[in-house]
Chains A and B, each alone.
Chain A
Amino acid sequence: MIEVVDLTKSFPISRQQRREQAAAGPPAPGAAPAPGAAGASSLQAVAGASFRCLPGRVFALLGPNGAGKTTVLRMIATLLRPDGGRISIAGVDALADPVAARRRLGFLTGSTKLYERLTAEENVRYAADLHGVGAADYKRRRDALFAALGIDAYAGRRAGQLSTGMKQKVAIARTIIHDPEVVVFDEATSGLDVIAARAIIQLIQDCRARGKTVLFSTHIMSEVTMLADDLAVVHRGRLLAMGGLEEVLARAVDERGQRRTLEDEFVRLVDAAEEVRT
């Protein structure tokens, strides 16, 4: 399980960013200064996010680019330290014991690449060694994973010589070789072709079937409707809506009583949030 309570994170703004904001002008009269607006010295990337991802369910973090999804996931993966709030990974306080939290976590991003001079096997073995997987466990998991992903024949080949699809499969094997309880995907299908993206989608479904807690971020609606059990809509670091997929869709009804699509509901939520800001 992943439990996130009142998570906040801000980043200092560089001098150049401040100059750009000053050039853009002050906020509208009566409006509260937006995070990172002219005069602000920091950018509030995440503001009071709270949600819970349950084992055996897939939680989607849906938001436009720059919404703060990656920041949230990086804090869960203990790559970034939050300014405030709590994170629990499979019962471990991630802020108090980040190493123990990372042992229970698999993290895959769309931009993750392999070590090109190492073979596929060496890439996966490296991850296993870092997670302290014993030799016997490694062999068992490696054999099962390589067979399931169809990469056994390429195990001895250097990663730089593999196709994009093969590389993605090796990256998947590397992410779950230590059999983590929690798997986090940060826009993992972004920029991939259909075949490679399908491998990720299949992995998410498998993880759910095996009782893992799965959290993934995306801006692709079809992935959410296909995969998510629960979802949260994020915009400018704030959660605009949250709940089960069916529950969110059930609430999405227009003035005439007609149900909106997820995409329409997402756009409505984001537009409403922007109107409040200005």
Chain B
Amino acid sequence: MSSPALVVFRKELRDTLRDRRTLIAMVVVPLLLFPLLMVGMAKFSQSRAAEARDKTLAVAVADAEAGAGRGSGLADFLRHEPGLEITEVQDVMALPERVRTEELDAAIVIPAGYAAAVAAHQPAPLQLLHKSSDDFDIPRTRLEQTLARFEQKLLEERLRGLGIEPRSIDPLDIQRTDVVSSRELFGKLLGGLLPYMFIIFCFTGGMYPAIDLAAGEKERGTLETLLSSPASRLQITLGKFAVVTLTGFTSALLATVGMYVSVQSVSGIPPAVLAAVQSVLAPGTIALVLALLLPLSVFFAGLLLMLSLYARSYKEAMSIISPLMIVVVVPAAIALAPGVRLGVATALVPVLNVSLATREIIAGTAEPLHLALVFASLLLLAAGSMVACARWFSREDIVFRS
């Protein structure tokens, strides 16, 4: 014979796993949809970037002083650069519109006074027209690099004309060595995004079961039958609580699996980044992150069940719980802001602490004291949420609210 809490748990789990909405939120979205989106977006971005990098840029050159550009060698220089298709034009006024409508990728205007400035060893004016909203701004970057090479060529010619060896104007030869590990770099750059994702799935994974198990049961009229059984309110709460916790946690777990699979399946990731991702997804790191998510799932389960039980119907529960998502997202998103670090104070702020601690764990820079504080505060919060939820189930004005 089983304990009533276990009986409730088994029944609720079976019932939940037969609910299509829950399955989609708990399994399909984290395991399939998210990785598919990630892979799809990565592939799309890669192909767009590659296309922009490799394509021949249509560039118009308008020379206000006919022959001045040619005189300085700019037009010739550009013509010999690979990946550029140079056309010389006279109509300067039409150029902005031609770039805006993407007839041209960019245009260079050599204004009056250019030749004189070059001859007088003064900064020569030059205008570059581009459209930054397209192709990751790669055309502008490529043209600027080309112009920088031309500028370097002019500079060296001027220095030699003055009898100065160009290398002699570089007093320092700085050798840079970045000692950051690839894991730390990945952790700091992307580590903020992963906990954000885990926290969202923890919440959404438990949301539908919580609504169904309390407000849904109220609406169906099955709650009275359950409450008139020998199971105590605490046992009923524990059974339902465990299911909501499990679904939220499973959702986050599946998101981790989905992320791992998607990273493995995206081609073209540099080996260093791939190695960093694999070190992040090491069993020890994952175990620590999941250990943080478990008490968070318990906290969410208590919160969701309480709100759901307060509601009179499934629809009302949805309208109460949906805005709560923002309350969860905001502290998770704050962790993405630069300069926000895990400390004694932030370790005590729910959700934000999980987000920051996960980032530190992924980067391999977590302080044991801070982690202990995060765990302690989460465990307290989880216990408080369980007790509050059990009390909530014992309140007649909540259970029979009409």
Contact = CB atoms under 8 A, between A and B. Distances in A.
Interface of A: 11-12, 74, 77-81, 99-100, 102-103, 105, 107-109, 111-118, 122, 126-127, 129-132, 134, 174-175
Contacts of A116: 220
B229 A131 contact: yes
A129 B2 contact: yes
B229 A117 contact: no
Contacts of A174: 225
Q: Counting chain A CB atoms within 10 Å of each CB, which of B220, B224, B228, B230 scores highest?
A: B228
Given A107-B228, A117-B19, A129 B221 contact: no
B224 A122 contact: no
Given A80-B396, A122-B14, A103 B225 contact: no
Contact of A130 (B222, B231, B400): B231
A174 B222 CA distance: 11
B227 A79 contact: yes
Given A127-B229, A130-B229, A79 B7 contact: no
Contact of B230 (A99, A113, A126): A99
A107 B222 CA distance: 11
Contact of B15 (A74, A118, A131): A118
A80 B399 CA distance: 10
A174 B230 CA distance: 14
Contacts of A100: 230
A130 B230 contact: yes
Contact of B224 (A99, A109, A114, A115): A109
Contacts of A105: 228
A134 B222 contact: no
25 contacts: A74-B400, A78-B228, A79-B227, A79-B228, A79-B400, A99-B232, A102-B228, A102-B229, A105-B228, A107-B225, A107-B228, A108-B225, A111-B221, A112-B224, A112-B225, A113-B221, A115-B11, A117-B15, A117-B18, A117-B19, A127-B229, A130-B230, A131-B230, A132-B230, A175-B225
Contacts of B2: 129
Contact of B396 (A81, A130, A131): A81
Contacts of A77: 224, 227-228
Given A80-B396, A122-B14, A102 B19 contact: no
B363 to A, nearest CB: 44
Contacts of A114: 222
A134 B2 CA distance: 10
B337 interface: no
B5 to A, nearest CB: 10
Given A80-B396, A127-B225, A134-B1, A115 B230 contact: no
B4 interface: yes
Given A107-B225, A112-B225, A115-B222, A130 B4 contact: yes
A131 B220 CA distance: 21
B97 interface: no
Query: What are the 9 tightest A-B residue pairs by CB atom distance, in nearest-first order?
Result: A130-B229, A107-B228, A117-B18, A111-B221, A129-B7, A77-B228, A113-B220, A103-B230, A113-B221
A112 B217 CA distance: 10
A132 B18 contact: no
Nearest to B19: A117
A232 B14 CA distance: 43
Nearest to B397: A12
Nearest to A129: B7
A143 to B, nearest CB: 20
Nearest to B239: A130
